[in-house]
Amino acid sequence: MIMKVYLFCFLCFFLVSASLQVTPQVAAEKKSADNQLSRKEIRDGWKLLFNGISFEGWRGINKEVFPAVGWKIKDGLIYKTPEKGGDIVTMRKYGNFILEWEWKMASPGGNSGLKYFVNERTGDTGGYGYGLEYQILDDNDWISDGRMKTNDYHTLGALYELYPPLPGKMPNPLGEWNKSRIVSKGPDVEHWLNGKLILKYERGSTDFREKVAASKFRNVVGYGIMPEGHILLQDHDSEIYFRNLKIKELK
């Protein structure tokens, strides 16, 4: 009887252990889940902006082609290398939308950003694009040496140069993944970080226009108030990774 109980317990332990073991196939399936949409997301109207394989749907800002340097696909991720290649933009423009993406800063003191409502200006040929920017920054490095004040309008999650994020944001440490989200519907815009709302503002309001007029974008005609624009990933010479970029257009 004791032997039967022992054999039964051993068998249960073996089966549980086997069920918990992560095989190479399971690991590969988990990894391949990045840059994909679930059936529910597809039904709900989500679209991928990056498929994990190619830069289809993207090009260089102010150009018809994709930059030859500065951007690579590495292990299914968008990798911004230290080389200067210029900003990249979606070929399509978007107006009302929910935009989500994940990012991981690899450079201490790294600086980047995701811009929206980007519209190229006649005559511009460089690698810089003008648009509303969800700031992506390694705050700790900038604040510790006095180059930046805590939660000013240049820190992580801010609408760069215009609105600071709310206090209490919770970024993950350098080298770990963060999840960002922008909700833009009519004049109302929200910035989210790791599931927490960190900024709300009204695009085109009197306050918004006054802030633009007092900023370095004062001479950019129509800055941030166009009905639609490109999505842009910024080249700021820092190493950063992006994945799971997806967008849902709103009516």
Span 11-26, average pLDDT: 45
Please give the mean pLDDT across all residues of the chain: 90
Q: Where are the beta strands (DSSP E) in the chain?
A: 46-48, 58-60, 71-74, 77-80, 88-90, 97-105, 111-118, 132-137, 178-185, 188-193, 196-202, 230-233, 240-249
pLDDT grade, residue 62 (50/70/90)? Answer: very high
Q: What is the domain-level CATH number for residue 207? A: 2.60.120.560
pLDDT grade, residue 15 (50/70/90)? Answer: very low
Say if residue 233 is in the same domain as residue 161. yes
Q: pLDDT at residue 242 above 70?
A: yes
Say if residue 26 is in the same domain as residue 109. no
Say if residue 165 is in the same domain as residue 87. yes
Q: pLDDT at residue 200 above 90?
A: yes
Say if residue 58 is in the same domain as residue 103. yes
* Domain span including residue 92: 37-249
CA proximity to 242, closest of 84, 97, 72? 72
Say if residue 25 is in the same domain as residue 103. no
For 2-22, b where at least 16 C-beta lie within 10 A, e where not — what string? eeeeeeeeeeeeeeeeeeeee
For the segment 132-148, what is each residue's pLDDT rounded down to a tens digit? 999 999 998 888 887 88
Q: How far apart are CA 144 and CA 146, in angstroms?
A: 6
pTM of the model: 0.86
Which tokens in the block code for residue 227?
Answer: 């009905």
Say if residue 147 is in the same domain as residue 241. yes
Which tokens in the block code for residue 250?
Answer: 């709103």
Backbone CA torsion sign across 198, 202, 203, 207: negative
Which residues is 105 bridged to in the sheet?
Answer: 240
At residue 144, the pLDDT reads 81
Say if residue 49 is in the same domain as residue 125. yes
Q: How far apart are CA 112 and CA 135, in angstroms?
A: 7
Say if residue 99 is in the same domain as residue 10. no
Q: How much of the chain exceeds pLDDT 70, in percent? A: 87
Per the structure, the count of domains in the chain is: 2
Say if residue 127 is in the same domain as residue 10. no
Q: How much of the chain exceeds pLDDT 90, in percent? A: 80
CA distances from 196 to 91, 102, 157, 246 (A): 30, 14, 11, 18
Longest dimension (CA), the chain: 88
Q: How far apart are CA 153 and CA 148, in angstroms?
A: 9
Helix (H, G, I), strand (E, B) or coil at 11: helix
Strands 230-233 and 71-74: unpaired
Which residue's entry shows tokens 């009197």?
Answer: 206
pLDDT grade, residue 1 (50/70/90)? Answer: low
The pair phi, psi for residue 209, each rounded to 5°, is -65, -35
Is the backbone of residue 75 left (phi > 0), alpha (psi -120 to 50) or beta? left
